[in-house]
Amino acid sequence: MNILIAMDSLKGSLSSVEANKAVAEGFVQVDSNWTIQTVPVADGGEGTVEALVNATDGEFIEAIVTGPLGKPVQSTYGILGNKVTAVIEVAEACGLPLLTKEQLNPLNTNTYGVGELIIDALEKGCSEFIIGLGGSATNDAGVGMLQALGYQFFTHDGALIGFGGSELKSIAKVDARNVSDRVKAANFQVACDVNNPLYGPDGAAFIYGPQKGATLDMVEELDNGLRHFADVTLEQSGIDLQQISGAGAAGGLGAAFAGFLNGELESGAELVLEQTRLEKKLKGVDFVITGEGKLDGQTSMGKAPAGIARAASKLSIPVIAIAGDISEGSPSLYESGITAYFTIVSGPIPLEEAMSPEVTLKNLRRTAEQIGRLWCAAK
Protein backbone atom coordinates (compact mmCIF):
# COMPACT_ATOMS: atom_id res chain seq x y z
CA MET A 1 0.00 0.00 0.00
CA ASN A 2 1.31 3.42 -1.00
CA ILE A 3 -0.34 6.39 0.74
CA LEU A 4 0.36 10.08 0.26
CA ILE A 5 -0.64 12.39 3.11
CA ALA A 6 -0.91 16.10 2.33
CA MET A 7 -2.73 17.86 5.15
CA ASP A 8 -3.04 21.62 5.30
CA SER A 9 -2.72 23.16 8.75
CA LEU A 10 -5.67 23.02 11.11
CA LYS A 11 -5.52 26.67 12.12
CA GLY A 12 -5.51 27.18 15.84
CA SER A 13 -4.58 23.54 16.41
CA LEU A 14 -1.80 21.98 14.33
CA SER A 15 0.62 22.88 11.56
CA SER A 16 0.67 20.94 8.28
CA VAL A 17 3.75 19.02 9.43
CA GLU A 18 2.12 18.05 12.74
CA ALA A 19 -1.15 17.02 11.08
CA ASN A 20 0.69 14.87 8.52
CA LYS A 21 2.63 13.11 11.27
CA ALA A 22 -0.53 12.32 13.25
CA VAL A 23 -2.30 10.86 10.22
CA ALA A 24 0.74 8.77 9.36
CA GLU A 25 0.82 7.39 12.91
CA GLY A 26 -2.80 6.31 12.53
CA PHE A 27 -2.07 4.34 9.38
CA VAL A 28 0.97 2.69 10.95
CA GLN A 29 -1.40 1.19 13.54
CA VAL A 30 -3.04 -0.74 10.71
CA ASP A 31 0.10 -1.91 8.92
CA SER A 32 3.62 -0.71 9.67
CA ASN A 33 4.81 -1.99 6.28
CA TRP A 34 2.74 0.47 4.26
CA THR A 35 4.67 3.07 2.28
CA ILE A 36 3.68 6.49 3.54
CA GLN A 37 4.75 9.82 2.02
CA THR A 38 3.96 13.13 3.68
CA VAL A 39 3.87 16.44 1.83
CA PRO A 40 3.56 19.67 3.86
CA VAL A 41 1.17 22.05 2.13
CA ALA A 42 -0.31 25.52 2.57
CA ASP A 43 -2.35 28.00 0.57
CA GLY A 44 0.02 30.94 0.71
CA GLY A 45 -1.07 32.17 4.13
CA GLU A 46 0.06 31.13 7.58
CA GLY A 47 2.21 28.00 7.44
CA THR A 48 3.57 28.57 3.95
CA VAL A 49 7.15 29.12 5.11
CA GLU A 50 7.11 26.01 7.30
CA ALA A 51 5.53 23.86 4.58
CA LEU A 52 7.97 24.84 1.85
CA VAL A 53 11.09 24.75 4.01
CA ASN A 54 10.22 21.26 5.23
CA ALA A 55 9.23 20.04 1.77
CA THR A 56 12.51 21.17 0.18
CA ASP A 57 14.96 20.54 3.03
CA GLY A 58 15.54 24.26 3.32
CA GLU A 59 16.36 26.36 6.36
CA PHE A 60 14.62 28.88 8.58
CA ILE A 61 16.16 32.34 8.88
CA GLU A 62 15.51 34.72 11.74
CA ALA A 63 15.79 38.46 11.29
CA ILE A 64 14.92 41.55 13.29
CA VAL A 65 13.00 44.01 11.13
CA THR A 66 10.84 47.09 11.50
CA GLY A 67 7.37 46.17 12.70
CA PRO A 68 4.08 47.71 11.55
CA LEU A 69 4.38 50.61 14.01
CA GLY A 70 8.10 51.18 13.58
CA LYS A 71 9.35 49.10 16.50
CA PRO A 72 11.71 46.14 15.94
CA VAL A 73 10.09 42.70 15.68
CA GLN A 74 11.58 39.21 15.44
CA SER A 75 10.64 37.61 12.13
CA THR A 76 11.23 34.28 10.44
CA TYR A 77 11.40 33.46 6.75
CA GLY A 78 12.74 30.52 4.80
CA ILE A 79 15.35 29.73 2.19
CA LEU A 80 14.45 26.65 0.17
CA GLY A 81 16.71 23.73 -0.52
CA ASN A 82 17.90 25.22 -3.81
CA LYS A 83 19.58 28.02 -1.80
CA VAL A 84 18.32 30.76 -4.13
CA THR A 85 14.61 30.91 -3.33
CA ALA A 86 13.36 32.77 -0.28
CA VAL A 87 9.81 32.29 1.01
CA ILE A 88 8.35 35.13 3.05
CA GLU A 89 5.02 35.55 4.80
CA VAL A 90 4.33 39.29 4.99
CA ALA A 91 2.50 38.83 8.30
CA GLU A 92 5.87 38.08 9.91
CA ALA A 93 6.78 41.74 9.46
CA CYS A 94 3.45 43.56 9.41
CA GLY A 95 0.82 41.09 10.58
CA LEU A 96 -2.20 41.56 12.80
CA PRO A 97 -0.81 39.31 15.57
CA LEU A 98 2.06 41.76 16.08
CA LEU A 99 -0.34 44.38 17.45
CA THR A 100 -2.84 44.63 20.25
CA LYS A 101 -6.43 45.51 19.43
CA GLU A 102 -5.81 49.03 20.72
CA GLN A 103 -2.80 49.49 18.42
CA LEU A 104 -4.65 48.61 15.21
CA ASN A 105 -4.78 51.65 12.94
CA PRO A 106 -4.04 51.28 9.22
CA LEU A 107 -3.46 55.01 8.91
CA ASN A 108 -0.25 54.48 10.91
CA THR A 109 0.87 50.90 10.17
CA ASN A 110 3.38 50.21 7.41
CA THR A 111 5.05 47.39 5.46
CA TYR A 112 8.67 48.56 5.75
CA GLY A 113 9.72 45.32 7.45
CA VAL A 114 8.65 43.25 4.44
CA GLY A 115 11.20 45.12 2.35
CA GLU A 116 13.83 44.51 5.00
CA LEU A 117 13.17 40.77 4.86
CA ILE A 118 13.63 40.88 1.09
CA ILE A 119 16.92 42.78 1.48
CA ASP A 120 18.13 40.25 4.05
CA ALA A 121 17.39 37.39 1.67
CA LEU A 122 19.08 39.17 -1.23
CA GLU A 123 22.19 39.60 0.90
CA LYS A 124 22.16 35.84 1.54
CA GLY A 125 22.26 35.11 -2.18
CA CYS A 126 18.57 34.71 -2.99
CA SER A 127 17.20 35.97 -6.30
CA GLU A 128 13.87 34.14 -6.40
CA PHE A 129 11.06 34.95 -3.98
CA ILE A 130 7.79 33.34 -2.99
CA ILE A 131 5.66 35.83 -1.08
CA GLY A 132 2.66 34.82 1.00
CA LEU A 133 0.15 37.65 1.29
CA GLY A 134 -2.44 37.70 4.00
CA GLY A 135 -2.91 38.71 7.60
CA SER A 136 -1.40 42.17 7.25
CA ALA A 137 -2.32 44.99 9.61
CA THR A 138 -1.54 47.56 6.91
CA ASN A 139 -3.16 49.61 4.17
CA ASP A 140 -0.18 51.50 2.74
CA ALA A 141 -0.26 49.96 -0.77
CA GLY A 142 3.12 48.39 -0.05
CA VAL A 143 4.78 51.81 -0.11
CA GLY A 144 6.61 51.04 3.14
CA MET A 145 8.08 47.91 1.58
CA LEU A 146 9.10 49.88 -1.51
CA GLN A 147 10.75 52.53 0.69
CA ALA A 148 12.89 49.83 2.30
CA LEU A 149 13.86 48.61 -1.18
CA GLY A 150 15.13 52.05 -2.23
CA TYR A 151 12.08 53.73 -3.75
CA GLN A 152 11.60 57.33 -2.67
CA PHE A 153 8.25 59.09 -2.48
CA PHE A 154 8.17 62.88 -2.41
CA THR A 155 5.50 65.44 -1.53
CA HIS A 156 4.71 68.50 -3.65
CA ASP A 157 7.20 70.41 -1.47
CA GLY A 158 10.00 67.97 -2.31
CA ALA A 159 10.08 66.34 1.13
CA LEU A 160 10.11 62.60 1.66
CA ILE A 161 6.79 61.22 2.87
CA GLY A 162 6.52 59.39 6.19
CA PHE A 163 5.11 55.93 6.85
CA GLY A 164 1.60 54.49 6.93
CA GLY A 165 -1.61 54.65 4.95
CA SER A 166 -2.17 58.29 5.89
CA GLU A 167 0.86 59.32 3.83
CA LEU A 168 -0.44 58.05 0.45
CA LYS A 169 -2.44 61.19 -0.22
CA SER A 170 0.76 63.27 0.02
CA ILE A 171 2.68 61.49 -2.73
CA ALA A 172 3.50 63.71 -5.69
CA LYS A 173 6.56 62.01 -7.15
CA VAL A 174 8.04 58.50 -7.22
CA ASP A 175 11.81 58.10 -7.66
CA ALA A 176 13.38 54.68 -8.31
CA ARG A 177 16.99 55.81 -8.84
CA ASN A 178 18.15 54.34 -5.53
CA VAL A 179 16.68 50.89 -6.18
CA SER A 180 19.53 48.39 -6.50
CA ASP A 181 20.09 46.17 -9.51
CA ARG A 182 19.64 43.14 -7.25
CA VAL A 183 16.12 44.25 -6.41
CA LYS A 184 15.32 44.96 -10.06
CA ALA A 185 16.62 41.55 -11.14
CA ALA A 186 14.79 39.56 -8.46
CA ASN A 187 11.82 37.40 -9.44
CA PHE A 188 8.69 37.50 -7.27
CA GLN A 189 5.94 34.89 -7.22
CA VAL A 190 3.16 36.16 -5.02
CA ALA A 191 0.55 33.90 -3.45
CA CYS A 192 -2.67 35.87 -3.80
CA ASP A 193 -6.11 34.28 -3.66
CA VAL A 194 -8.26 37.41 -3.85
CA ASN A 195 -9.06 39.58 -6.86
CA ASN A 196 -9.90 42.84 -5.12
CA PRO A 197 -8.88 46.02 -6.93
CA LEU A 198 -6.71 48.57 -5.15
CA TYR A 199 -9.46 51.10 -4.36
CA GLY A 200 -13.21 51.53 -4.57
CA PRO A 201 -16.11 49.67 -2.90
CA ASP A 202 -14.38 46.32 -3.40
CA GLY A 203 -10.88 47.65 -2.74
CA ALA A 204 -8.38 47.18 0.05
CA ALA A 205 -9.71 49.86 2.40
CA PHE A 206 -13.43 49.14 2.20
CA ILE A 207 -13.19 45.34 2.29
CA TYR A 208 -10.28 44.77 4.66
CA GLY A 209 -9.78 48.08 6.46
CA PRO A 210 -12.33 47.51 9.26
CA GLN A 211 -10.68 44.27 10.41
CA LYS A 212 -7.42 46.22 10.68
CA GLY A 213 -8.96 48.80 13.00
CA ALA A 214 -10.28 51.35 10.50
CA THR A 215 -13.39 53.35 11.32
CA LEU A 216 -15.73 54.47 8.52
CA ASP A 217 -13.95 57.83 8.33
CA MET A 218 -10.56 56.07 8.20
CA VAL A 219 -11.79 53.82 5.39
CA GLU A 220 -12.74 56.88 3.32
CA GLU A 221 -9.37 58.51 3.94
CA LEU A 222 -7.46 55.30 3.14
CA ASP A 223 -9.43 54.70 -0.03
CA ASN A 224 -8.79 58.26 -1.21
CA GLY A 225 -5.08 57.73 -0.52
CA LEU A 226 -5.01 54.50 -2.52
CA ARG A 227 -6.81 56.20 -5.40
CA HIS A 228 -4.37 59.12 -5.32
CA PHE A 229 -1.35 56.80 -5.27
CA ALA A 230 -2.75 54.89 -8.26
CA ASP A 231 -3.33 58.14 -10.17
CA VAL A 232 0.24 59.34 -9.52
CA THR A 233 1.66 55.96 -10.55
CA LEU A 234 -0.38 55.91 -13.76
CA GLU A 235 0.62 59.47 -14.65
CA GLN A 236 4.35 58.97 -14.01
CA SER A 237 4.96 55.38 -15.10
CA GLY A 238 1.98 54.39 -17.21
CA ILE A 239 1.19 51.50 -14.84
CA ASP A 240 -2.52 51.24 -14.02
CA LEU A 241 -2.54 49.66 -10.58
CA GLN A 242 -6.33 49.63 -10.44
CA GLN A 243 -6.51 47.21 -13.38
CA ILE A 244 -4.35 44.59 -11.63
CA SER A 245 -6.53 41.78 -10.28
CA GLY A 246 -5.56 41.27 -6.65
CA ALA A 247 -3.93 44.70 -6.29
CA GLY A 248 -5.93 45.24 -3.10
CA ALA A 249 -4.55 42.14 -1.39
CA ALA A 250 -2.82 42.70 1.97
CA GLY A 251 -3.68 46.38 2.08
CA GLY A 252 -2.35 47.01 -1.41
CA LEU A 253 0.83 44.95 -1.23
CA GLY A 254 -0.50 43.13 -4.29
CA ALA A 255 -0.26 46.41 -6.21
CA ALA A 256 3.30 47.06 -5.04
CA PHE A 257 4.57 43.62 -6.02
CA ALA A 258 2.81 43.50 -9.39
CA GLY A 259 3.18 47.15 -10.36
CA PHE A 260 6.67 47.99 -9.08
CA LEU A 261 8.49 44.64 -8.77
CA ASN A 262 6.98 42.83 -11.77
CA GLY A 263 5.63 40.17 -9.42
CA GLU A 264 3.26 37.48 -10.65
CA LEU A 265 0.11 37.17 -8.52
CA GLU A 266 -0.80 33.48 -8.44
CA SER A 267 -3.04 31.02 -6.64
CA GLY A 268 -1.40 30.36 -3.30
CA ALA A 269 -2.32 26.67 -3.16
CA GLU A 270 -1.15 25.99 -6.71
CA LEU A 271 2.10 27.86 -6.13
CA VAL A 272 2.90 25.85 -3.00
CA LEU A 273 1.93 22.54 -4.60
CA GLU A 274 4.16 23.31 -7.57
CA GLN A 275 7.10 23.93 -5.27
CA THR A 276 6.50 20.68 -3.37
CA ARG A 277 6.39 18.75 -6.69
CA LEU A 278 3.17 17.07 -5.69
CA GLU A 279 2.36 15.65 -9.14
CA LYS A 280 5.68 13.81 -9.26
CA LYS A 281 5.10 12.34 -5.79
CA LEU A 282 1.62 11.09 -6.78
CA LYS A 283 2.98 8.45 -9.16
CA GLY A 284 2.30 4.97 -7.86
CA VAL A 285 0.12 6.19 -4.98
CA ASP A 286 -2.97 4.12 -4.06
CA PHE A 287 -4.87 6.89 -2.32
CA VAL A 288 -4.39 10.39 -0.92
CA ILE A 289 -5.35 11.85 2.43
CA THR A 290 -5.78 15.61 2.63
CA GLY A 291 -7.74 18.05 4.74
CA GLU A 292 -7.81 21.21 6.81
CA GLY A 293 -9.55 22.70 9.81
CA LYS A 294 -12.86 23.26 8.01
CA LEU A 295 -14.15 21.88 4.73
CA ASP A 296 -16.89 23.90 3.07
CA GLY A 297 -17.86 25.55 -0.18
CA GLN A 298 -14.80 27.78 0.00
CA THR A 299 -12.47 24.77 -0.06
CA SER A 300 -12.95 24.30 -3.79
CA MET A 301 -12.12 27.97 -4.44
CA GLY A 302 -8.33 27.86 -4.36
CA LYS A 303 -7.64 26.11 -1.06
CA ALA A 304 -4.96 23.44 -0.77
CA PRO A 305 -7.16 20.31 -0.39
CA ALA A 306 -8.99 21.11 -3.63
CA GLY A 307 -5.72 21.66 -5.48
CA ILE A 308 -4.41 18.33 -4.21
CA ALA A 309 -7.65 16.59 -5.20
CA ARG A 310 -7.55 18.01 -8.72
CA ALA A 311 -3.97 16.84 -9.21
CA ALA A 312 -4.78 13.34 -7.92
CA SER A 313 -7.96 13.02 -9.98
CA LYS A 314 -5.92 13.48 -13.17
CA LEU A 315 -4.27 10.17 -12.27
CA SER A 316 -7.54 8.57 -11.10
CA ILE A 317 -6.28 8.38 -7.52
CA PRO A 318 -8.96 8.40 -4.81
CA VAL A 319 -8.78 11.34 -2.40
CA ILE A 320 -10.14 11.21 1.13
CA ALA A 321 -10.48 14.53 2.93
CA ILE A 322 -10.72 14.90 6.71
CA ALA A 323 -11.41 17.97 8.79
CA GLY A 324 -12.45 19.19 12.20
CA ASP A 325 -15.61 20.75 10.78
CA ILE A 326 -17.49 20.06 7.56
CA SER A 327 -20.34 22.10 6.13
CA GLU A 328 -22.95 19.78 4.70
CA GLY A 329 -24.50 20.31 1.30
CA SER A 330 -21.22 21.12 -0.43
CA PRO A 331 -21.28 19.27 -3.76
CA SER A 332 -18.36 21.44 -4.89
CA LEU A 333 -16.11 19.27 -2.70
CA TYR A 334 -16.85 16.31 -4.96
CA GLU A 335 -16.54 18.45 -8.06
CA SER A 336 -12.99 19.40 -7.07
CA GLY A 337 -11.97 15.73 -7.08
CA ILE A 338 -12.53 14.70 -3.46
CA THR A 339 -13.83 11.13 -3.36
CA ALA A 340 -15.17 11.21 0.19
CA TYR A 341 -14.84 13.34 3.30
CA PHE A 342 -15.05 12.70 7.04
CA THR A 343 -15.02 14.76 10.18
CA ILE A 344 -12.48 13.77 12.82
CA VAL A 345 -14.78 14.81 15.68
CA SER A 346 -16.55 11.76 17.09
CA GLY A 347 -19.28 13.51 19.05
CA PRO A 348 -20.52 16.72 20.72
CA ILE A 349 -17.63 18.59 22.29
CA PRO A 350 -16.90 22.24 23.15
CA LEU A 351 -15.12 24.02 20.30
CA GLU A 352 -12.18 25.07 22.45
CA GLU A 353 -11.61 21.47 23.54
CA ALA A 354 -12.02 20.14 19.99
CA MET A 355 -9.37 22.56 18.73
CA SER A 356 -6.81 21.80 21.41
CA PRO A 357 -3.67 20.27 19.87
CA GLU A 358 -3.82 17.16 22.08
CA VAL A 359 -7.41 16.34 21.14
CA THR A 360 -6.83 17.12 17.46
CA LEU A 361 -3.78 14.82 17.33
CA LYS A 362 -5.77 11.99 18.92
CA ASN A 363 -8.72 12.50 16.57
CA LEU A 364 -6.50 12.54 13.48
CA ARG A 365 -4.76 9.32 14.50
CA ARG A 366 -8.06 7.57 15.24
CA THR A 367 -9.70 8.69 12.00
CA ALA A 368 -6.69 7.68 9.90
CA GLU A 369 -6.60 4.26 11.53
CA GLN A 370 -10.27 3.67 10.80
CA ILE A 371 -9.87 4.78 7.18
CA GLY A 372 -6.93 2.39 6.85
CA ARG A 373 -8.91 -0.53 8.30
CA LEU A 374 -11.83 0.21 5.99
CA TRP A 375 -9.50 0.36 2.99
CA CYS A 376 -8.03 -3.02 3.92
CA ALA A 377 -11.48 -4.56 4.27
CA ALA A 378 -12.54 -3.16 0.90
CA LYS A 379 -9.47 -4.67 -0.75
- Picking from 268, 299, 317, the residue at the C-terminal end of a domain is 268
Other beta carbons less than 10 A from residue 352's beta carbon:
9
Cα dist from 201 to 68, 196, 204, 223, whole Å: 25, 9, 9, 9
Whether 240 and 182 share a structural domain: yes
| 8 Å CB contact between 256 and 141 | yes
- Picking from 225, 241, 268, the residue at the C-terminal end of a domain is 268
Task: Give pLDDT, residue 42.
Answer: 86
| 8 Å CB contact between 106 and 137 | yes
Other beta carbons less than 10 A from residue 191's beta carbon:
27
Sequence-separated (6 or more) residues with CB below 8 Å from residue 68: 93, 94, 95, 98, 99, 109, 110, 111, 113, 137, 138
Q: What global pTM score does this model have? A: 0.87
Does residue 182 form part of some domain?
A: yes
Of the candidates 311, 268, 289, 270, the residue with the CA atom closest to the CA atom of residue 38? 289
Strand 152-154 versus strand 59-66 pairing type: unpaired
Task: Give pLDDT, residue 295.
Answer: 84
Query: Looking at residue 133, which CATH number applies to its domain?
Result: 3.90.1510.10
Task: Give pLDDT, residue 331.
Answer: 61
Whether 98 and 213 share a structural domain: yes
Does residue 275 form part of some domain?
A: no
Whether 35 and 53 share a structural domain: no
Does residue 68 form part of some domain?
A: yes
Whether 291 and 230 share a structural domain: no
Question: 3-state DSSP call for residue 74?
Answer: strand
Helices (H), 244-343: 253-260, 268-275, 278-281, 304-313, 331-335
- Picking from 268, 301, 319, the residue at the C-terminal end of a domain is 268
Residues in the chain, overall count? 379
Whether 69 and 182 share a structural domain: yes
Task: Give pLDDT, residue 364.
Answer: 97
Amino acid occupying residue 168: L
| 8 Å CB contact between 248 and 194 | yes
Whether 286 and 245 share a structural domain: no
Cα dist from 346 to 201, 241, 354, whole Å: 43, 49, 10
User: How many domains is the chain partitioned into structurally?
Assistant: 2
Domain extent at residue 150: 48-268
Does residue 274 form part of some domain?
A: no
Does residue 273 form part of some domain?
A: no
Please tell me the number of Cα atoms within 13 Å of 298 on its side-chain side: 8
Per-residue pLDDT of the chain (379 residues; tens, 9 = 90+): 999 999 998 888 999 999 999 999 999 999 999 999 999 888 888 889 999 999 899 999 999 999 999 999 999 999 999 999 999 999 999 999 999 999 999 999 999 999 999 999 999 999 999 999 988 999 999 999 999 999 999 999 999 999 999 999 999 999 999 999 999 999 999 998 889 999 999 999 999 999 999 999 999 999 999 999 999 999 999 999 999 999 999 999 999 999 999 999 998 888 988 888 898 999 999 999 999 988 876 666 667 888 899 999 999 999 999 999 887 655 677 888 899 999 999 888 888 888 999 999 999 999 999 999 998 888 7
What letter would DSSP give residue 59? E
